[in-house]
Structure 1
Amino acid sequence: MGGHVRIHPQCGACGFTFTEYEAVVALCQEGDDAIAIASSTLEYRHTANCDGISTLGRVYCRYPDCKECASSAPTVTIHEECLDFLEQLTTAEDKLSWLWTAGTWRSPWNGAPPLQQALSPVIDAGQFIDRAAQACEMPGLSSLPKELALMIYEQSDRSCLHRCLAFWSYARWWNRSHQKMPKTIPIEEIEEWHRGSHPVMNKGARHGEVESDVQKPIIILSIDFQGLRSITRVQKGDITSYTNANDNLLQSDTVVYVVEAAECFASAQVEYNYPFARLQLTGRPEQFRVWDTPSPPQWQECVVDTDYDSASRAKSHLSTIDTRSTTGLTFFTCFARIWAIHAHTNRRPSAQSTFDMLSPKIQAFVHWIHVPFGSEDTLTAFGWSHTEFNARFFLRLKLAGDIIVGSTYKMNDENVQLIQHPLTLIYERPDSEGVHVVGGHAGGAAPLAAMQLEADEAKDAEAEPTFTFQYRKQPFRSASYSSAPLSNVIRTHVFYGKHLSTLVCRGIMLEYRDGPKRALGQCKLGVDRSEECMNPAQLCYTPVVKHNVNNVQVKVFDGSSHPRHEETDWTCCLMKGTLEFWFSEREVELNWKQ
C-alpha cells in the first residue's frame, strides 16, 4: 500500500512528544479494520516535507498542513521503545488493536487540533521512584527522602522509564476495556462526567421554564494528555465557580478547555467506554475554540487579527496572557519568527519550562528577549505585524515607553495591528510553526478604573499612533537589537551565560527611579547568574573576541568605587545617554550614544 502515512508529533502510547531523530513506528488501519505496523523504524523529524522520507512507495509525512495526509487513512505514531514495552504488558493477540484504540482516543474528537504543544504527561513522582527501584533492582530508592526522590525524578525527565510508566498507567485501563462496546450518549443528557467515573445525567429544564441569558447553560470540556478529561454543564453566570474549583490547573501545561454554549453541542454524542470518553461531532467541529483557560474572554468583544479565519482554528489551541498578573514577557525569536512566549508570574517566574518545549533545532539558535513590567507600569498598547519573512511585536508601556520585539529587517512603512489597553492577549502556536497573534481583549473595568481608562485613552488619541523605528544595519548575522536610556537608573542586573565564561555578558536589566524597567540583550531570569549593582555611577564594557566571535565584558560601579582598568580598550559610560545592545545566540556588541 502506497500513499501518505501521517507521522504525528506525539506518541499514542505514552503521550510524550517526540524529539528529533527518536526511533518511532507508525500504525495504520487497513481496509478490513485490521491494525498493522505501517513502517519499519523511522527517525522522527519535526518538519520533514512530504518527499523527505519514503519507503516501499509510502511517504512518511510530518508536514502539518499536508492535504494528502488529511485524505489518507488514519494513523498512530509510537516510540519504538513503547512498542517493545507493549510486548511485556500483554501477550494478547489483539494487542495492536487496543493500542490503536488507546492512541486514537487521546484525541477528544476526530479532527481535533493537535494539542501536544500544550499538554504534558503527568506522572506521580513517588510512583516513578517505586518503579525505578524495581527496574534497577535498587529497593533503597523507595526509602529516599522526598527531596532527593524529587531531584531524581526531575533529572530523569523524558527518560525511557518516564515514558514506560506513563504508558503503563494509561494502558492498564485499555487492556481491560477495549473489547467492550462503547456506549453512545447524547451530550445534552449529561450534567457532568469526569474520567474514571460514570456520567451524572442531566435532569433537564423544567417544563415551561424560560431561561434568561445568564441561566443559559455552558458546556466546559477539559482535555489533558490522555484525551477528554471532563464534561461539565454550568450556567453562564457560574463559570467563575468552575474556575475557582480548578484553580490549580489554570493556564498550566497539562490541561486545555473548550467553553461553548450548550446549543453548539446540539447534535454531539459522547462515546463512553469506562473510564474514558470522547465526542462524536457533526457539522464543523473546527468552530470550537480550544483555550488554555476555562474562563476565556468573550470572543465578540475581542480585537481579532484581520487574517484570522475559522479554517485556521483547527490548527492549534488558543493561549492567553493576563497582562494584569504578568510581571514580564519573554519572547523566543529565531529565523525572524517568534516561536514561543512566556508570561512571567508568581507561579512561573522562569521561562525555562517554555524553552524546554521548543524543538532542539530552535533551541540551538533561539534568542530570549525579555520585556519586564515594572510594579507601577502597565501595558497601554500591543501591536503585531506579520510579513512573509518577518514577524514582530510592538509593546507600549505607560512608563517604559515603546519596545519592539523581533526582526529589525525592513521596518519602514510598517503595517501594525494595534490593541489599546489590552487586559488579555490571545495567540496560537500551530504544530511546527511560529507564534501567530490572534488578537486581544480590552475587557470591562470598575467605575473608577473606567474613568482612568478613558483619560488614558484620550491621551493615547493625542499621542503618536504608530511605532517609530529607524532601521539599523546588523553588525553580525542574525543579530537582534535592543536599546535603553541610562539616565535615572537606580539598579542594574548583569546576566552571564550559563555555559560561557563568567566574564561574558549576555544581558543587562535596568530599573529606573520612577518605576519602569528595561532589558537589554538576553536576560534569562531564574536561569543565568546575575550580578546586582545599586545606584550605579558608571557602566564599563570591553570587547572579548575569541575564535572570531564578538562578545563583551561588562562591569558596573556605584559611586563609592572608581573603575580602574589595566587594559586600554574599555569604554566607560556615565549614567546618561543610550546604550545599544546587539546580540545573537553567540555574539554581543555594545554601543554607547551620549
Structure 2
Amino acid sequence: MHHLALYPQCGACTDMIFRHERVVALFGKEDDSSSYLGRTEPFPFPDAARSVASVNGFRLCRFPDCKRCAASPQFMPIHCDCFEVFRKCCGEGVDASARLWTVAAWRSPWRRAPPIYLASETLEADSLRAIADIARLPQLYELPTELLEMVRRYSEHALLWRAISARSLAARVSATSPNPLLTLSLDDILFWERGGELERRDPGRPPLSSSTMQLTIDSDGIRRVERPSPPSPEVFSRGAFAYVVEDQQAIAKLEAQFKDGLLRLVLPRGQPAPAPRIWNTPNPPDMPRCETFMRGATGLSPARLFAVDADHRATGITFFFSAGALFGVHVHVPHAPDATPAFRRFSRARRRTMVWVYLPLAPRHDPLLALGVRRSPAPSSPAILARTQRGAAHGLPDVVIGPYLPGPARDHVVNRAVTGPPITLVYSEPLQGRPIPFFGACVRPAGAAAASRTRPGAPDAPAEPPFAALEPRAHPLGDGAYFARAPLAGVAAAELFYDEGGRFCRGLLLRYRGGARRALGQCRVHVDATARVAEPRGLCHRLETRARGPRRTAYAVEVALRDGAGDHGHRGEEGWSCHRLEGMLNFWFTDVSSFIEIDS
C-alpha cells in the first residue's frame, strides 16, 4: 500500500494543521509530482505517531524520511475549510484544484522539504474586508494595523485568519494565467525574483566571480535566486524569510522547475548527499568552526537551522525539555519577546509534559562568556552551562540549568574573550515531534582564534576556569527532575512567576546589584502572571503536596518575598518557612512539581 506522507502545514493558508482537523490531500503525478493528478476524500489529520488509518487506498503516515513515502506521489494537505474558501473564491474558468496544487507544492523549496513556518505578510485589505463582513465583524478592518496584528497574534490559528489567507490566494491565482513547466539547471540562472524576469547566464561568458549562491525563501516558497558578492552582512532575520546559502559548486547542478511564475528545486533521487541547509540568516556561520553540543542519532536533516548571536538584541533563551530531552530553543529578541509561538508547534500531548528552562541574557551589561552542555556518565540528557562577565566578576556561581546532573560530569563549552565577538548559538527546528537534531555554538571568525579555547574537533576542551560540579542532594522529585540554583545575597529585585491558578510559584527571576540575572524553575517570560519586588529583604516559602495517582505525589510551592521588616501576610499560617536573603536557593522542578530548599 502506498503511503500518504503528511506534514502539519496547510498548503493554502500556510498555518499549522492540528490533530483531528479535517483535511483533504491533493496529490501529483507519481513520477515527478510536477502536475496535479487528484485529491483524496476528507479525513481527520493523524497524530505524529505511526497511523494505521488509510484514505482512498493510501496509508496515512507522518514518519520523517519514510522510504515508502519517498516512493509514493507527493501529497499536499489542505484544511477542508481553506479548500472550500479557495475554490468558491476562484474566478470562473479557473481549475481551482490544479492551480492550488501548484501553489501548495511549490511552497516547498524542493519536493518533500520539511515545512518552514515563516511569518506571513500583512493581511490583504480586500480579503480582510470581505471575510470580516461575512463573519459580521466589520469593525475588524477599521482597526489600526498594530492593533489588528495584536488580535491576530493572540488568535493566530483561528478560522477567520485562515479564510482571509485562502481568499487572498484565490484572488492572486485568478488574476494570473497558468504557465507550462520549464526546467533549467540552477547553474544557468544569474538572477530570478518572483514576479520579475529571469536572467540567464551567457554560456560564452567567463565563469562568475561570486562563489556563493543564495536562495531567499518566504511563506510562498523560493522568492529570489542570486549570486551575492560579497555575501549579505545581515546576521538575523525577523522571521519572514529563510535562506539557502551554499557554494555554487555544491548546488549549481541541481535543476530548477518554473511553473505559474513559481520556482522550486529538484534534488536527484537517491542522492547520498544531504539536502541544502536552510538558515534563518543570509550570513550563516561556517559549520566546521562550530562546536556540536547535541546531535540527533536519527540522521534526519533539520527543517531549518538558526544562528543567533548573543548580542544586544537577545534578552534570553528558553529551552524546551520533555522527558529529559531537548525539543526546542527560542531566542527572545524584540520582535519575538515570548516563546509561545514555538510552544504551540508541539503536539497537545507533548505540551502537557513540556518544561520551560529560561536563561536570561543582558549582553550590554553582562555579556555571555561561555556556553555549553554538561553530560553525566549515566545515560541522560545534557544540562545547559553558561557563564557571564558580571556574574563571574561578582563571584556568582556559573549557570547550570536543565536536567539535574550531580556528581562527576563531562563539560563541553565554547568560550569567548571579553572584547571579542559574541557567541553564536546554532540550533535546529524539531522534526515531527522529535527532539531537535542539532544544538551547538561558535564564535564568529573575526575573533574565533583568540576568543575560543574550544577547538573544532576537541569536544572535551575545558572552560577556563572549569564549571563546578554539583553535589548530590536528596530531593523528592525523582530522577527526571530539572534543577537550578542561585545565591540570595545581593539580590536587588526579584520577579515571581505563577501557575495558572495564581497561587503557586512556577519560577523566580533574580536580578543582582552588579547587573547579573539568574532564573530558577520555569520562568515563562511574557506568558505567566508575575509579581515584581524591588529590594526584597527576605524570602518565605511553603510546600504543599498533592496526590497524582496511587503512587505519585506532586509538589507545589508558595513563595512570598518580603520587602520590609514588618508583617508579610502569612503570620499564624502553618507550614511557612522564612529566611533572610543569604545562602543558596536550590530549585528542583518538573512539568507538574516544584520544590525549593535554602542552604544557609
Q: What TM-score results when the alignment is normalised by the length of structure 1?
A: 0.84
Find 2:415's aligned residue among 416, 420, 427: 420
Could you say which residue in structure 2 is the equivalent of 1:227? 221
Could you report, residue by residue, the CA deviation over 1:394-436 in whole angstroms, capped at 9, with x for unpaired residues? Answer: 213132543334333x766645543333721211122321223
C-alpha distance in 2 between matches for 1:532 and 1:127: 45
Tell me the SS of whatever aligns to 2:107: coil
Tell me the SS of whatever aligns to 2:20: coil
- Using the aligned pairs only, state the percent identity: 26
Could you say which residue in structure 2 is the equivalent of 1:556? 561
- Work out whether residues 16 and 120 of structure 1, in 8 Å CA contact, stay in contact via their aligned partners in 2: no
C-alpha distance in 2 between matches for 1:557 and 1:324: 34
Could you say which residue in structure 2 is the equivalent of 1:10? 9
Question: What's the offset of the Cα at 1:547?
Answer: 6.9
Could you say which residue in structure 2 is the equivalent of 1:119? 118
More helix by share: 1
Could you say which residue in structure 1 is the equivalent of 2:328? 340
C-alpha distance in 2 between matches for 1:423 and 1:367: 25
Could you report, residue by residue, the CA deviation over 1:61-97 in whole angstroms, capped at 9, with x for unpaired residues? Answer: 1112322212222222111212322431346584332
Find 1:407's aligned residue among 400, 403, 420: 403
- Work out whether residues 304 and 439 of structure 1, in 8 Å CA contact, stay in contact via their aligned partners in 2: yes
Q: Are 2:338 and 1:350 aligned?
A: yes
Could you say which residue in structure 1 is the equivalent of 2:59? 59
Structure 2 gaps, min length 5: 417-421, 455-460, 549-553
Amino acid in structure 2 at the alignment position of 1:552: V
C-alpha distance in 2 between matches for 1:205 and 1:538: 79
Q: Are 2:264 and 1:278 aligned?
A: yes
The 10-residue stretch of structure 1 (398-407 or 421-430) with the greater mean CA deviation from structure 2: 398-407
Tell me the SS of whatever aligns to 1:314: coil
Describe the shift of the 1:168–1:391 C-alpha distance in structure 2 as closer, same or farther (beyond 3 A).
farther
Could you say which residue in structure 2 is the equivalent of 1:130? 129
Describe the shift of the 1:390–1:124 C-alpha distance in structure 2 as closer, same or farther (beyond 3 A).
farther
C-alpha distance in 2 between matches for 1:57 and 1:435: 33
Describe the shift of the 1:543–1:125 C-alpha distance in structure 2 as closer, same or farther (beyond 3 A).
farther
Question: What's the offset of the Cα at 1:500?
Answer: 0.8
Describe the shift of the 1:473–1:26 C-alpha distance in structure 2 as closer, same or farther (beyond 3 A).
farther
Describe the shift of the 1:55–1:134 C-alpha distance in structure 2 as closer, same or farther (beyond 3 A).
closer
Find 1:265's aligned residue among 251, 272, 276: 251
Describe the shift of the 1:101–1:392 C-alpha distance in structure 2 as closer, same or farther (beyond 3 A).
same
Question: What's the offset of the Cα at 1:31?
Answer: 6.1
- Work out whether residues 394 and 467 of structure 1, in 8 Å CA contact, stay in contact via their aligned partners in 2: no
Q: Are 2:386 and 1:396 aligned?
A: yes
C-alpha distance in 2 between matches for 1:586 and 1:7: 32
Find 1:321's aligned residue among 297, 304, 308: 308
Tell me the SS of whatever aligns to 2:342: helix
Could you report, residue by residue, the CA deviation over 1:521-551 in whole angstroms, capped at 9, with x for unpaired residues? Answer: 1112222232222332211112345677532
Question: What's the offset of the Cα at 1:191?
Answer: 3.0
C-alpha distance in 1 between matches for 2:581 and 2:250: 60
Amino acid in structure 2 at the alignment position of 1:529: A
Describe the shift of the 1:254–1:519 C-alpha distance in structure 2 as closer, same or farther (beyond 3 A).
same
The 10-residue stretch of structure 1 (314-323 or 543-552) with the greater mean CA deviation from structure 2: 543-552
Structure 1 gaps, min length 5: none
Tell me the SS of whatever aligns to 1:105: helix
Q: What TM-score results when the alignment is normalised by the length of structure 2?
A: 0.83
Could you say which residue in structure 1 is the equivalent of 2:551? none
Question: What's the offset of the Cα at 1:228?
Answer: 0.7
- Work out whether residues 308 and 438 of structure 1, in 8 Å CA contact, stay in contact via their aligned partners in 2: no
The equivalences for 1:451-530 within 5 A come to: 463=464, 465=466, 468-472=469-473, 475-476=476-477, 479-497=481-499, 499-501=500-502, 503-530=503-530
Residue-pair matches, total = 566
Could you say which residue in structure 2 is the equivalent of 1:383? 373
C-alpha distance in 2 between matches for 1:239 and 1:387: 43
Question: What's the offset of the Cα at 1:287?
Answer: 4.3
- Work out whether residues 332 and 338 of structure 1, in 8 Å CA contact, stay in contact via their aligned partners in 2: yes
Question: What's the offset of the Cα at 1:347?
Answer: 3.4
C-alpha distance in 1 between matches for 2:294 and 2:588: 32
Question: What's the offset of the Cα at 1:293?
Answer: 0.7
Amino acid in structure 2 at the alignment position of 1:323: A
C-alpha distance in 1 between matches for 2:535 and 2:401: 28
Could you say which residue in structure 2 is the equivalent of 1:25? 24
Question: What's the offset of the Cα at 1:346?
Answer: 3.3
Could you say which residue in structure 1 is the equivalent of 2:458? none
Could you say which residue in structure 1 is the equivalent of 2:232? 239
Describe the shift of the 1:141–1:56 C-alpha distance in structure 2 as closer, same or farther (beyond 3 A).
closer
Describe the shift of the 1:144–1:169 C-alpha distance in structure 2 as closer, same or farther (beyond 3 A).
closer
C-alpha distance in 2 between matches for 1:557 and 1:323: 34
Over the residues paired in the alignment, what is the CA RMSD in angstroms?
Answer: 3.5
- Work out whether residues 310 and 425 of structure 2, in 8 Å CA contact, stay in contact via their aligned partners in 1: yes
Question: What's the offset of the Cα at 1:294?
Answer: 0.6
C-alpha distance in 2 between matches for 1:134 and 1:198: 38
- Work out whether residues 397 and 486 of structure 2, in 8 Å CA contact, stay in contact via their aligned partners in 1: no
C-alpha distance in 2 between matches for 1:467 and 1:303: 21
- Work out whether residues 326 and 381 of structure 2, in 8 Å CA contact, stay in contact via their aligned partners in 1: yes
C-alpha distance in 2 between matches for 1:95 and 1:301: 48
